[in-house]
Amino acid sequence: MITGIVQGVGFRPFVYRLATELNLSGFTFNNSQGVTIELQGNSTNITQFVDTLTHTPPPLARIDTFEQVEVDSLANCSGFEIIHSESDCSAQVAISADKSSCPDCLSELNDPTNRHYRYPFTNCTNCGPRYTLINALPYDRPNTSMAHFTMCPECERAYQDPLDRRYHAQPVSCPHCGPQLTLTDNQGAAIAHKDAALQQTVERIKAGEIVAIKGLGGFHLVCDATNHAAVTALRLRKQRPAKPFAVMCADIETAKSLARGSDLAWQVLTSQERPIVLLDKHQTPTGETQLSPSVAPTIDRIGLFLPYTPLHHLLLQALKRPLVATSANRSGEPIITDSQDICTRLQGVVDCILDHDRIILNGCDDSVVQVIDDTVQIIRLARGYAPLTMHCNRPVPQSTLAVGAQQKNSIAFGFGHNLVLSPHIGDLFSLEAEQYFIDTLATFKRLYAFNPEQIIRDCHPDYASSQWAEQFSQLNGHCQPTQVQHHYAHILSVMAANQHTGKVLGFSFDGTGLGEGRELWGGEAMIADIQGYQRIAHLKPITLIGAEQAIKDPRRIMLAMLFEQYTLEQVLQLPLTNIAAMPQASIINLHKLWQKGVATQQTSSVGRLFDALACLLGVIETTQFEGQAGMIIESLANGLTEQQVANAGLVFNLPLIDGQWQTDLLWQQMMDVQLSRGDNETTKALIAKGFMDCLADAAVSLAKRHPQLPIALCGGVYQNRYLLSLTRQRLDEHGLNWLDTKGVPVNDGGIALGQLWYGIHQ
């Protein structure tokens, strides 16, 4: 028995060819556990078979376990065959993620003599949809959304031929028997079909229209990225004023004309996972690019990705220009997978819809990654990477479900030797998002016949995921769900990625999460293991005036920091952009709330400190999207020259006294520089750099006190490339060992895996 990612990846045809080459007889079949192979023949050849299969499996396969037993030989056994799959109620096989088009399929797509010429759904065993169209295990065509497409004789022949690369490729089809395109208006009325639909879509995009286009795991909202009016219109219609848009480029040459990246970054961009990769903008001396400035305003980075379906390739070949391709949804809601929902919810956003009749059973957004030094950091774990299945060295004692956090939600499952982290679900702030959460749960429960015996949730009682866990336990007679503190779960997620159970020193820096005693944490240092944690340091709390309102309007946090050090009259006279822009009456009212402690909350969040600094520097007023302040502060620091840094000689200090990093002392240092050096871009950039340098030094200084402990750097703040790179570099300089996240998001997308790691060890 072989387990791992061994179904839907050409594993059995590979086994068939290898056994045939080595003159071995026997058979192989799929079941819900994995793949079974029975061999008979020369012992030397069997040894060679096992060696080849374990060391050079098919490109998309991953072998987790390889169990061998001897069986009695059979008389009259000749030849090797692939027999029908078996199904049972206890699935263990790892589901493969969707993969981008392979070179062979793209070659056929562009070959006028091939029957797949210009067919937008061309695929084979080595590429195409997997997770997004599977309904049940084992992974066979009747268990997918291709079940109602009857194969034509030519596709049937390829599907049944073990020597053909389309052997048992479940989505196999061609223009005669497979899915087809339909272009509709924004109310769903058909305009054109098949190739005519594609050609009209091209013309409409060239004319500046916004089109919803169905991909593998959902719809994109697409427009010409070089057309400023079209990009601006998309922002207005989607009510997304500042958050960057991703751009799809036809090829790596186009991408390199728009951005700069390391060799590793280009490798990731062209990998079969085809994620969105965050790269440095490549600008001309005048600061212009061929893209609309509205694609990624105010920051020095851009998210690029390459086409990953035949449809995308055909589209970009015809357009010969980069496209904005952003998830089709309303702000904060999950990606839309059905054209009827586009008509209902985004009718005022799109001009037309390019749809097709292959149903998306399981929604899956685009993955987002960045390269930091020589490591890949996953920001959004989704298409190409997810579901992420990890082999657990020890068996999971009972089926365990972890329901994750409120933002960037994902869910995790533990059973057998498997730890499974779902694709990105999103923020659970709407009924649609909560339904998507429930649908994703149902998908995995159905695929794995999974019934949780233990449920793990966040400590925050108001999270939608926490409330679901409580209701499920009451309805199903389970004991109370186990609660895991948010920032401890961040650290546990890094431990899980490394199969680590011993003590670590974790730095959990993020926006906010519920701490002990209803406090809001977010700047924590903990010594932790799988049994618990000790909070050994944290930011000295800062005040959120208006509580959650301060997260959306971080000027309130800035004012609270200023009120700590200046009188109200002095604050009103400060020569700061955001002070001058606010009505004095508003500042006076906020001062009263701060003074009386009414409608305020304390937080130790590093993310909120970034927000306050961005307001101090006058680069934001209100927060348009999560992490905006951190992106802008990083962009400011990246714009400095070495000479400017050397001439400034600016160093801030963040002392640790009685377990608290003295936030107020750091703030006063930054204020002194801001007021003494004047409100100019260089001063802002120097303060931004000095602030992040100071955070890195504070973490490293504490780590030096615990040199024997591995270090986990986690939480959304560590998506800041400058901060993470500098912190790792300084840890390396002192010979301190840090743990890589190995494909698990450091943000709240990894929380569920951390919760799961705790639960399975209790």
Q: What is the pLDDT of residues 211-225, one digit of tens each?
A: 999 999 999 999 999
- Give residues with Cβ within 8 angstroms of 320, minimum separation 6: 250
SS3 sequence, 500-548? CCCCEEEEEEEEEEECHHHCEEEEEEEEEECCEEEEEEEECCEEEECCC
Average the pLDDT over 284-308 and give the result: 85
Share of the chain above pLDDT 70, in %: 98
Q: Three-class SS of residue 179?
A: coil
The neighbouring-strand residues paired with 417 are none
pLDDT the model gives residue 72: 77
Question: Quick count: other Cβ atoms within 10 Å of Cβ 455?
Answer: 23
Q: Has residue 287 got a pLDDT over 70?
A: no
pLDDT the model gives residue 288: 53
In this structure, is the dihedral angle defined by the CA atoms of residues 287, 293, 299 and 304, taken in order, positive or negative? negative
> Among 446-455, 496-505, 702-711, 715-724, where is mean pLDDT lowest?
446-455
For residue 485 the two structure tokens come to 């503190």
Residue 289's pLDDT band (cuts 50, 70, 90): low
Q: Has residue 352 got a pLDDT over 80?
A: yes
pLDDT the model gives residue 29: 84
* Segment (H or E) for 268: helix 263-270
Asked if 12 is an active-site residue, the reply is: yes
Highest mean pLDDT among 12-16, 195-199, 285-289: 195-199
Nearest to 727 by CA among 509, 533, 535, 541: 509
Task: Report the alpha-carbon distance of residue 748 to residue 333 in Å, rounded.
Answer: 16
Q: Has residue 88 got a pLDDT over 60?
A: no
Task: Report the alpha-carbon distance of residue 651 to residue 694 in Å, rounded.
Answer: 8
Q: What is the pLDDT of residues 361-412, one digit of tens each?
A: 999 999 999 999 999 999 999 999 999 999 998 899 999 999 999 999 999 9
Task: Report the alpha-carbon distance of residue 669 to residue 561 in Å, rounded.
Answer: 12
Cβ pair 553, 545 in contact under 8 A: no
* Segment (H or E) for 108: helix 103-109
Task: Report the alpha-carbon distance of residue 433 to residue 445 in Å, rounded.
Answer: 18
Average the pLDDT over 499-523 and give the result: 94
pTM for the model: 0.94
> Among 27-36, 335-344, 746-755, where is mean pLDDT lowest?
27-36
Q: What is the pLDDT of residues 569-596, one digit of tens each?
A: 999 999 999 999 999 999 999 999 999 9
Q: Which of 12, 274, 535, 608 is catalytic?
A: 12
Q: What is the pLDDT of residues 152-197, one digit of tens each?
A: 999 999 999 988 999 989 999 999 999 999 999 999 999 999 999 9
219/136: higher pLDDT: 219
pLDDT the model gives residue 91: 58
Q: What is the pLDDT of residues 602-642, one digit of tens each?
A: 999 999 999 999 999 999 999 998 999 999 999 999 999 99
- Which of the 8 DSSP states describes residue 347? T
Residue 34's pLDDT band (cuts 50, 70, 90): confident
- Which of the 8 DSSP states describes residue 463? S
Alpha helices in 69-166 (DSSP H): 103-109, 153-160
Average the pLDDT over 534-559 and give the result: 96
Q: Has residue 58 got a pLDDT over 90?
A: no
Ranges of beta strands (E only) in 282-411 are: 301-305, 323-327, 352-356, 368-372, 375-380, 388-391, 400-402
Q: Has residue 74 got a pLDDT over 80?
A: no
| Owner of token pair 């952009």 | 577
pLDDT the model gives residue 162: 87
Q: Has residue 274 got a pLDDT over 80?
A: yes
Nearest to 40 by CA among 2, 81, 1, 11: 81
Q: Has residue 198 got a pLDDT over 60?
A: yes
Asked if 737 is an active-site residue, the reply is: no
Ranges of beta strands (E only) in 549-622 are: 600-603
Residue 90's pLDDT band (cuts 50, 70, 90): low
| Owner of token pair 């186009």 | 254
Helices 681-703 & 628-638 angle (0-180, nearest 10): 100
Q: What is the pLDDT of residues 632-687, one digit of tens each?
A: 999 999 999 999 999 888 999 999 999 999 999 999 999 999 999 888 999 999 99
Q: Has residue 259 got a pLDDT over 90?
A: yes
Q: What is the pLDDT of residues 732-741, one digit of tens each?
A: 999 999 999 9
The β-bridge relationship of strands 375-380 and 368-372 is antiparallel
pLDDT the model gives residue 30: 80
Residue 92's pLDDT band (cuts 50, 70, 90): low
Q: Has residue 31 got a pLDDT over 80?
A: no
Largest alpha-carbon pair distance within the chain? 98
Q: Has residue 506 got a pLDDT over 60?
A: yes
Nearest to 743 by CA among 443, 390, 503, 263: 390
The domains of the chain, with CATH numbers, are 2-82 (3.30.70.100), 181-368 (3.90.870.10), 387-498+745-759 (3.30.420.360), 539-733 (3.30.420.40)
Alpha carbon distance, N-terminus to C-terminus of the chain: 29
Task: Report the alpha-carbon distance of residue 530 to residue 488 in Å, rounded.
Answer: 10
**Letter for the amino acid at 510?**
D
The β-bridge relationship of strands 181-185 and 190-193 is antiparallel
The β-bridge relationship of strands 259-260 and 190-193 is unpaired
Q: Which of 30, 31, 143, 227 is catalytic?
A: 30
